[in-house]
Amino acid sequence: MHYIVTPLSIISLALLLFSSNSHGASYVGTEQCAGCHQPELAQWQGSHHDWAMKAATAETVLGDFSNATFTHQGTRSTFTRKDGAFYVNTQGADGEYQTFKVDYTFGVEPLQQYLVKFDDGRMQALTTAWDSRPKEQGGQRWYQLIPNDIGGPGDSFHWTGTYFNWNTRCAECHSTGLEKNYSMATDTFATAWSEVNVACESCHGPGSDHIDWARSSNQGDNNGLQVQYSKQLNWVIAEGMSIANPQGDPHRGATTEIESCAACHSRRSKISSAPINNYPRDKTFLDHYQLQTLEQGLYHADGQIEDEVYVYGSFLQSKMHQRGVTCSNCHNPHSLELKAEGNALCAGCHAPQTYDTPKHHHHEQADSTGAQCVNCHMPATVYMGVDARRDHSMRVPRPDITAQIDAPNACNMCHTDRATDWSVSAIESWLGKKVSKPELAAQAIYAARINAPDANQQLIDLANNATINELARATALGLLENYPNISSYSTAQQQLKSDKPLLRIGALNALAFLPLQQRWQNISPLLNDPVRSVRLEATKLLMGIAGLDSTQQAELEGHIERYIEALTVNADMPNGQLNLAAAYLAQGSYQKAEQAYQHALKLDPQSVPARLNLADLYRVQGQETKALKQLLQAQAANASNATVLFSLGLAQIRGKQIASALISLEKASGLAPEISRYSYVYGIALNGQGRGQEALQVMTRALTGDSQNRDLLFALTTINRDLGRLEDARDFAKRLVLAFPEDGAALQLRDALK
């Protein structure tokens, strides 16, 4: 049976869409599985997967609905119960207090959220959640998920807004066999599922073929399950060894298992309409998802978790992953519980006589916090207010590089009252002052983040270093886009041929610096890559290219059609509409691009990228008045957004509103001094008004944070020259040539000043 969250008027459409998206085998439900798999069912019952989502009943609702109240930033929410149903009285999207029925619970521990169903098929998650931890741990209370939340009624971050929409942001990983069924035309959902929670077929795929196999008198090797998991290998610590080795090849089955879990336990975007783990066996994770690399704001420079990234990206960086360790080596796949408590879990592969001793962990009390393996090698970060999640990259604590790369370390995450230097000294007292192995990936990625002079070469060295994990190398390749030179090009060209799809994607990202007309030769072969996410990335980079012959054009158009089809999977998200708009723009379809930007603003009226890109679209079409109107609307909603102010300043210059433009550009450069482009343009505008001395001050200040910026060096040379400050002009010209020794224009400018 399929349960449908939809207005009655579009139930028939939901059923039609669900049927037409069939992937062969059909879902049969947990009860069908239970007949043969009672032990597994018993383990699953009561697990976090079982509790991922449930209808709101007296048995499932953990929160206090006995007329309890909670107030956050002046908004009062009152939780009540009547005739077996649960209600909350709080502000709706219009700012008026209303009573909403709670239809479903969401999660169980350490918090539980609550879902409210609306007539357009949307379900929204309340931002007031129940802390389900024991009272002695601070739980058994209502609390706000985002303490500093400023999302008021009508805003995208209000509980009724797009970023707390269940259909878009939560559903596919909390229910089984989910079909989102979003209609762009009506902006409504007809979302359907086979089971409300994460049940057997979420991980094993739809079970009808398996049941047919089980009932057959002629059973072959293929048991009919969509996802085939290998039997668990034994890991044995041989005599005289301290670390276990597998009895057999663990890698053969590890990828299938890990990628099955990764479908939900990763920071990724979806590029396929197939439900979780319901796709052909010859397809991989990257055929259905695009994985987020070590982007700033999500990961620290060394790959430690920063924002919520959901395990997979961390685990890919670990030595455990390289050895072939899988999720089920540590977690029971049905109950999700750890297979052993405390250090006993790690002792299965790491000899306790070597590792679970003060000689290794340097904490004398065996049961102390510091003696626990996970606290040093898997430190936790708290998300959603109360949910502590452990970093699965399982790295060695490195307080010695904390200050160098602006990242945390496990020592000071425990010893919060101590300085980093204290931790460094403590480790030196244990191990001596030996030189630690350089953290090549961390140093290269951090160098790129701060625009260090040698960042380009460090990224190249990282990208080419086969001893370092693929995710870090793919990240380095992507960052090479910011270094458009022959060395970066050669590195990317080499990695386009890698047998690792993540590296091929990274190499494609790097080649975004190539002018459009120069991309075909390098990129077009990857239009036929065996992995879908690689094909889509290649397609994106070739959209809009001109001058192809008829055969090439026909090939590209077919790929573009499939690329746009993949983008529509996320058409219910603001970013999904932005990506669609970019695709339409590359095709020159301005009207479709405008519609996509408008739809993004319908989903998120506060979307700065949508507003700015729509303004730019109007500018390209010569509609400056419309462009300025969009930018002024953006400024009204985002008065301290440097990007908005910068774009507004440029529009005001085009509109001959110079005085207003200088004010906007000054604010932009002051709010974001690290973005040298803002200071450069502000300086050029000042110089254009005869205020050269002020321009020099602005640009010189910007150059201190971006010492090899070509535009700044050029401008400082020419402005000093025009002001008669020839000695200063020559100094900047020398710096320019030193930074860009093959730049003909730089050489010509230097020589003209001799």
Q: How far apart are CA 589 and CA 438, in angstroms?
A: 50
Contact indicator for 301, 449 with CB cutoff of 8 Å: yes
Helix axes 590-603, 608-620, angle to 10 degrees: 160
Q: How far apart are CA 647 and CA 654, in angstroms?
A: 11
Answer yes or no: is pLDDT of 678 > 70: yes
Task: Return the sign of the alpha-carbon dihedral for residues 374, 375, 377, 379.
Answer: positive
What is the average per-residue pLDDT within 195-215? 95
Answer yes or no: is pLDDT of 10 > 60: no
User: Quick one: which H or E segment has residue 124?
Assistant: strand 123-125
Cα Rg of the chain (Å, integer): 29
Q: How far apart are CA 153 and CA 143, in angstroms?
A: 18
Q: How far apart are CA 742 and CA 754, in angstroms?
A: 19
Question: Running DSSP on this structure, what letter comes out for residue 229?
Answer: P
Contact indicator for 613, 604 with CB cutoff of 8 Å: no
Q: How far apart are CA 329 and CA 311, in angstroms?
A: 15
* Amino acid letter, residue 735: R
Residue linked to tokens 């969401």 = 106
Q: How far apart are CA 445 and CA 293, in angstroms?
A: 11
Question: Running DSSP on this structure, what letter comes out for residue 231?
Answer: P
pLDDT attached to residue 154 = 87
Residue linked to tokens 């390209």 = 620
Contact indicator for 559, 527 with CB cutoff of 8 Å: yes
pLDDT in tens, 259-311: 999 999 999 999 999 999 988 878 899 999 999 999 999 999 999 999 999 99
pLDDT in tens, 89-132: 999 999 999 999 999 999 999 999 999 999 999 999 999 999 99
b or e along 409-421 (b: 16 or more beta carbons within 10 Å of the residue's beta carbon)? bbbbebbeeeebe
pLDDT attached to residue 602 = 95
What is the average per-residue pLDDT within 402-416? 94
> Which tokens belong to 696?
């020099």
Residue 251's pLDDT band (boundaries 50, 70, 90)?
Answer: confident
Residue 19's pLDDT band (boundaries 50, 70, 90)?
Answer: very low
314 Cβ partners below 8 Å, 6+ apart?
303, 304, 305, 391, 392, 393
> Which tokens belong to 486?
């022959």
SS3 of 166-220: the string is: HHHHCHHHHCECCECCEECCCCEECEEECECCCCHHHHHCCCHHHHHHHHCCCCC
pLDDT attached to residue 435 = 67
Contact indicator for 226, 277 with CB cutoff of 8 Å: yes
Contact indicator for 154, 92 with CB cutoff of 8 Å: no
Q: How many CB atoms lie within 10 A of CB 185?
A: 5
Q: Are strands 111-117 and 128-131 parallel, antiparallel or unpaired?
A: antiparallel
Record the pTM. Answer: 0.90
Q: How far apart are CA 227 and CA 282, in angstroms?
A: 10
Q: How far apart are CA 708 and CA 737, in angstroms?
A: 10
pLDDT attached to residue 586 = 92
pLDDT attached to residue 148 = 81
Q: How far apart are CA 486 and CA 510, in angstroms?
A: 12
Query: Which DSSP string corresponds to 150-165?
Result: ---TTSTTSTTSGGGB
Task: Return the sign of the alpha-carbon dihedral for residues 685, 686, 688, 693.
Answer: negative
Question: Running DSSP on this structure, what letter comes out for residue 73?
Answer: T
pLDDT in tens, 514-557: 999 999 999 999 999 999 999 999 999 999 999 999 999 999 99
Answer yes or no: is pLDDT of 707 > 90: no
Residue linked to tokens 């309340």 = 126
In 386-441, DSSP assigns E strands to 387-390
Give, in order, the Cα–Cα distances in Å from 103 to each of 5, 9, 86, 106, 665.
Answer: 11, 20, 8, 10, 49
pLDDT in tens, 652-665: 999 999 999 999 99
Contact indicator for 107, 387 with CB cutoff of 8 Å: no
Q: How far apart are CA 710 and CA 428, in angstroms?
A: 43
Dihedral pair phi/psi, residue 55, rounded to 5°? -60, 140
pLDDT attached to residue 436 = 78
pLDDT attached to residue 308 = 95
Question: Running DSSP on this structure, what letter comes out for residue 292?
Answer: -
Q: How far apart are CA 167 and CA 255, in angstroms?
A: 29
379 Cβ partners below 8 Å, 6+ apart?
304, 390, 391, 408, 410, 413, 414
Contact indicator for 705, 674 with CB cutoff of 8 Å: yes
> Which tokens belong to 697?
């001050």
Q: How far apart are CA 15 and CA 4, in angstroms?
A: 8
User: Quick one: which H or E segment has residue 76?
Assistant: strand 75-82
Query: Which DSSP string corresponds to 449-518?
Result: HTT-TTHHHHHHHHHT-TTS-HHHHHHHHHHGGGS-SHHHHHHHHHHTT-S-HHHHHHHHHHGGGS-GGG
What is the average per-residue pLDDT within 543-572? 96
Quick one: which of 228, 283, 218, 217 has its CA closest to 254? 228
> Which tokens belong to 138?
């601070």
Dihedral pair phi/psi, residue 403, rounded to 5°? -70, -35
Q: Whole-number mean pLDDT of the chain? A: 93
- Of residues 453 and 557, the one with the higher pLDDT is 557
Residue 479 DSSP SS3:
helix
Answer yes or no: is pLDDT of 12 > 70: no
Answer yes or no: is pLDDT of 191 > 60: yes
Quick one: which of 643, 641, 616 has its CA closest to 628? 616
Contact indicator for 451, 423 with CB cutoff of 8 Å: no
> Which tokens belong to 139?
């739980």
Answer yes or no: is pLDDT of 87 > 80: yes
Contact indicator for 126, 112 with CB cutoff of 8 Å: no
CA dihedral (310, 311, 313, 319) in degrees, to 10, reads 170
pLDDT attached to residue 438 = 87
In 530-582, DSSP assigns E strands to none
Half-sphere exposure of 309 (CA within 13 A, CB side): 28
Q: What is the percent of the chain where pLDDT is above 70?
A: 97
Q: Are strands 75-82 and 128-131 parallel, antiparallel or unpaired?
A: unpaired
Q: How far apart are CA 287 and CA 533, in angstroms?
A: 6
> Which tokens belong to 201?
């077929």
pLDDT attached to residue 1 = 43
Phi-psi region of 210 (alpha: psi -120 to 50; beta: other; left: phi over 0): alpha
Q: How far apart are CA 339 and CA 598, in angstroms?
A: 51
